[in-house]
Chains A and B, each alone.
Chain A
Amino acid sequence: MIKVQNVKITGIAACVPKEVIKNNDLSDNTKLLDSIGVKQRHVVLENQSTMDLCVCAAERLIKELNIEKDRIDAIIFVSQTPEYQLPATACIIQNILGLKNNIIAYDVNLGCSGYTHGLFLASSLISSGLKNVLLLVGDTISKIVDKEDSSSNLLFGDAGSASIISQKNGSEIDFALGNDGAGFESIIVDSDQNRKTCNKSDYLTMKGAEVFTFTLQRIPNLIKETLSYSDLNSKSINYFIFHQANLFMLKTLAENLDLNFNQFLISIDEYGNTSSASIPITICHNREKIFKAPGKSLMAGFGVGLSWSSAVSELEDTVILPVMEL
């Protein structure tokens, strides 16, 4: 567990593509559809990318916060679907957004745990003296899903997000982070560009039952340890904002932890599992609810890696923009 002091989430924005796919048009398996809880998903067109969605969110957020561009000291781009294998997408975005040259810019390859990991990295940079960090988190998993794979094809949506993390005296964020590489094959695209071995796939493969078991083994303890470290109990958390893996998983976690499901913020019905972007898009989608009763939120991401992380933060003064479309 790690406490980062004098840091806050100043603003959050999320952007999805305009194109919508209704799951009812693809499947009449109501048991499966009810279980994953996805009614519709936004998916990119062929010429749209994760970078486009994140840039859209970032431009709007920078404008809304009226933050001078030369006060942004770092860009972290967290994604499994970057613009190129190289260079890092963050380097390209620095130029697109017209940010200064004496800036730190790098990519991080993480998915379901990507937002909370990114939040930790951004907060650590603030802790080391930077004033504002632009955290861009998003994925366009629809591009790597096998359309014949019925469960994955009904689950994933595309989204990008932008958050500004800044210095603020007296404000703090508590983090817990972990990883178990023994499960690396549970969620994988094994196109294997370096080893050049045969029989590899460019599509995402997900062993659903293994990921489910991993979540049951790791996440209840993660949440209990996080609450304990932050000296909180479940009633002192206004919102549990978990990675939107699927609705059945979220309900199972709530049951396992004996949490009130009404404290969970949900976006999977409207946007699907948006991978790394699922926590920020859930925040933006539920902004009215958060405005009415702001307070402490416990965010938790878990999945590909296999990797997990949590963050406890106030969202009281955070500028949260509505989900926008590109």
Chain B
Amino acid sequence: MNKEKILKIVADTIEVESVSESLKLNEDIWDSLAIIVFIAALNKEFGLVLNPEKISSAKTVQDLLDIVEQG
């Protein structure tokens, strides 16, 4: 899985230029709408349908990378 592509999807989802792996996903930026937008973007890019509970439980961008990697 292309890490740079996933980071770009996270950045687009939360509407910022770029994100680092250490960025914390607090409720202000990682709300229910962001989770759905992220799941849709991953589906479009990689054909994946990820578990929303796992996506929602991510505390940092690194957590998201790990979850996507595990599929």
Residues of chain A touching chain B, judged by Cβ–Cβ distance below 8 Å, are 31-32, 35, 151, 207-210, 212-213, 216-217, 248, 252, 255-256
Contact = CB atoms under 8 A, between A and B. Distances in A.
A212 B44 contact: no
Nearest to A151: B32
A213 B49 contact: yes
Interface in B25-61: 32-33, 35-37, 39-40, 43-44, 49-53, 55-56
A35 B50 CA distance: 20
| Chain B contact residues, majority secondary structure | helix
A35 B56 CA distance: 19
Interface residues of B, number: 16
| Chain A contact residues, majority secondary structure | helix
Contacts of B36: 208-209, 212, 248
Contacts of B39: 209, 212-213, 216
Nearest to B44: A255
Nearest to B55: A209
Contacts of B35: 209
Contact of A252 (B32, B33, B40, B55): B40
18 contacts: A151-B32, A208-B36, A209-B35, A210-B53, A212-B39, A212-B40, A212-B52, A213-B39, A213-B50, A216-B39, A216-B40, A216-B43, A217-B49, A248-B40, A252-B43, A252-B44, A255-B44, A256-B44
A209 B32 contact: yes
Contacts of A151: 32
Given A248-B40, A255-B44, A213 B33 contact: no
Nearest to A212: B36
A256 B43 CA distance: 8
A35 B33 CA distance: 8
A31 B33 contact: yes
